[in-house]
Amino acid sequence: MVTDYYQKYTYDMLYYAEVPYTSGFTNALINVGSMTNRGFEFTLNTVNLTGPLSWNSDFSISFNRSKVTDLNNNADTFISDDTYKLKIGYWSVIRVGEEIGSFYGLISDGIWQLEEEEEAASYGARPGDFKYVDRNGDNRINADDRTIIGHAQPDFFWSLNNTLSFKGLELNIYFQGVHGNDILNSNRFELESGNGLSNASVNMLDRWTPENPSNLYPRANRSADYLEMSDRYLEDGSYVRLQVATLGYQLPQSILQKIRLKGVKIYISGKNLLTFTSYSGFDPEVGRFGSSNIRQGYDLGGYPAARTYLVGLNLEF
C-alpha cells in the first residue's frame, strides 16, 4: 500500500483582468491570482489468489481540495453563458476562499401554486412559474439573490483493475468512479422551458396546469427570456463505469512449437461497456468546454463516449 499527501501552491496564474480604459482595452491577460491544492492518494496492490487460478487487484483512490487564495483586488470573477443562446447570464464564479468550478445562481423553491397567486404577483410571477428563494427579503428576485449552489469538482475518484488468469486464459476488468460532483445540465433550460420554441422533454407532459399543479415543471409560457440559472438544473454527476474489459487466450507451448511461433494471443476487448449513474444527460463524463479549468461541469448535449469493441490477434515470431 502506498499513501501520498500533497499540498501545492500556485501563484501568478494567467487570467483576463480589467485594465484602465485609457489603455484602449477593457481587459488584458495578466499574472493574477493564486490557489492551493491539497489531497491524499492511496494505492493498494493485492494478490488475492495464487495457483492455477490467479487473481491480482490494483486499487487507487484520490481526494483533492482546491481553494482560491487570491484574485485581482479579491473581487469575484463571474463566468457567463458562452452559448449566446440560453441568456442565463452568469453560471459560475471564481471567489476567494472557494474552489474553481463553483456554480452560481438562484436557489429554487418549486413552482408558484394557485393559492399563492397574490404573493407570486408581488415577484412579477404567475401560478405555474418557477419560484426562487428571496435570500435578502426585498420582495424581488435578482442578481442579489444568487449564491454558490454547487461544485463541479468531485469529492473523490477511484479506479479498480482486476486481472484473473487460468492456464492460457486471462480476463482483465477495469472500473473507474467519480463521486460528489455536480453537473449543469443546460439541455434542460430549453427542453423543460415550456416556451414552445424548441423541442421539449417528455417530462413537460406533466407540466403545471390548474388541473395538474406540478411542483417540478412550469406552465407553458411563450416568453423565451424568463429562464434563470438555478440549482434546479444541477444534477449529481457521480458515476461508476466499467471502462475496459478484455478477455484473451494465449496458445500453449505445445501448439506454438508445431506452428513455429514464439507466441499467439487472441483477445476481445470492450470499452465504455456499462455506466451506473443518476445523471439524466447523455454522459456524466462530457463537458461543453472540454479541458477548460475554469468552465467545469457544463453539459450542452455533448456526444457521449462511444462503446467500442475490438478483436485482435498478436503474433510473436
Per-residue pLDDT of 153-206, as tens digits, reads 999 999 999 999 998 899 999 999 999 999 999 889 889 888 888 788 999 999
Is the pLDDT at 91 greater than 60? The verdict is yes
> What confidence score (pLDDT) does residue 79 get?
85
Distance (Å, whole) CA 245 – CA 107: 42
Of the candidates 194, 160, 129, 169, the one whose C-alpha atom is nearest the C-alpha of residue 251 is 169
> What confidence score (pLDDT) does residue 190 get?
84
> Which carries the bigger pLDDT value, residue 109 or residue 33?
109
181: phi then psi, degrees, rounded to nearest 5: -100, 155
> Which carries the bigger pLDDT value, residue 222 or residue 309?
309
pLDDT band at 110; cut points 50, 70, 90: very high
Mean per-residue pLDDT, 38-60: 95
The number of C-alpha atoms within 13 Å of 283 and in the hemisphere containing its C-beta is 15
Q: Is 242 exposed, middle or buried (0-12, 13-18, 19+ CB in 10 A)?
A: middle
Max mean pLDDT range (14-23, 219-228, 238-247, 262-271): 238-247
What would the pLDDT profile of 271-286 be if each residue is shown by its tens digit? 999 999 999 999 999 8
> What confidence score (pLDDT) does residue 82 get?
59
Segments making up each domain of the chain, as ranges: 2-106+146-316
Of the candidates 129, 109, 107, the one whose C-alpha atom is nearest the C-alpha of residue 120 is 129
Distance (Å, whole) CA 212 – CA 206: 8
Q: Per the structure block, which three cell numbers stand in for 210?
A: 390548474
pLDDT band at 85; cut points 50, 70, 90: low
